[in-house]
Amino acid sequence: MRLTLITLFVFTAPCWGIEDNSNTYSYGLDSFTPEWAENTRSSEYKFKVQKGDFVAVPIPMSDPTLGSGIVGVAAYYYGQTEQEKQQQPPNVTQFFSMYTDNKSYGVGINQQNYWQQDKWRFNATLAYADLRLDLLDENIANVPFKVGWQISGIFAKTQLLRSVADNWYLGIQAKWIENEQTFSTSLDRQDWLFASQTQSIGAGALLQYDSRDNQTNAYNGQRFELDAMFNDQALGSTNTYQSYQIRYRFYKQLLTPLIFAFEARGCNKKGNAPLWDYCTIGLRGFSATNYLDKTSVSSQAELRWRAWKSLGFVGFAGAGEHAKTINSLGEHDAIASYGVGIRYMVLESQRINLRVDYAKSNDDDAVYLSVTEAF
């Protein structure tokens, strides 16, 4: 669930045309910066509101972390020459908002720009969120029951990437997060994990490779991401810590209606990372707050079958693990995840599906409703 816990919604909200990141390897705002925005101006999507280059789309959502609700996305696409249309996506400004039945909400704006035949890519997000969560990891809370966990704050992140080879992009990034967290009960811990107010300011680098045939719902190709962020008190951050994340996805069309998809993720935090920026296990079947730690790994595979016209079915299975350090991986039992889902294609030109999944894990189960695939 790309979640920093404060604005989980930032990558749920601008999810029109991007994969669902509600199960990110790090549960937080800095993982929800959208990578692109599909151009839906001339599409046949039935539920959009459009006037010229302005498009508004409502998106239903449901997951065990935030509950059920609605995401609203409005986008303005900037004009292009005929040559630019063939060489790069359109520049776009997105406005997004979210509200769920557990009274979590958020609003934000995102800007995406492309230059010089897509050699340069720029992405910036500014958002505010107020999240009402349940802290379910008993090893963190040190109590045998769920704890109400409210996180609210402001998030800003920017990225600048340049093409360095076919399908490869290398870039720099910076982020700023300022938030507050409160708990529904007094916890017998006074360390920096539970500080009521924290600020995270960092800079870093990222490397991306993408050969997928479609960014929304790939049938063939690969995607690789390596992300490093260095948060330091010298920059104004409350704590000094480093964040490393890696993600690989593979897609192969086995038969005309059958797609095999695979994903592997890893997350590691070094130093005094705040609790809302801890790693999670990026699988379905449980809340993202069930397993919080400084290191996590997971992998999952999915078979996607386009059964009849717009109707499809999927089956998926995976496993993950968490630990304090990379060297201590293997000390906990693996967390299993498996389930089935139904797909209904609402936008053929972009392969965008309405997705309903039922997933089970070791001790829990969950239902998911979203637009676009889980990965």
The Cα–Cα gap between 375 and 20 comes to 6
**pLDDT class for 19, splitting at 50, 70, 90?**
very low
- 46 pLDDT above the threshold of 80: no
pTM of the model: 0.86
Residue 191 burial by Cβ neighbours in a 10 Å radius (0-12, 13-18, 19+): exposed
**pLDDT class for 186, splitting at 50, 70, 90?**
confident
The Cα–Cα gap between 149 and 140 comes to 12
The DSSP line for 35-54 is S-----TTS--TT-EEETTE
Residue 245: other Cβ atoms inside 10 A: 23
Q: For the chain, which domains are there?
A: 5-371 (2.40.160.50)
Are 267 and 294 within 8 A, CB to CB?
A: no
Per-residue pLDDT tens digits for 62-90: 999 999 999 988 888 888 888 888 888 88
The Cα–Cα gap between 194 and 104 comes to 20
Per-residue pLDDT tens digits for 105-120: 999 999 999 999 999 9
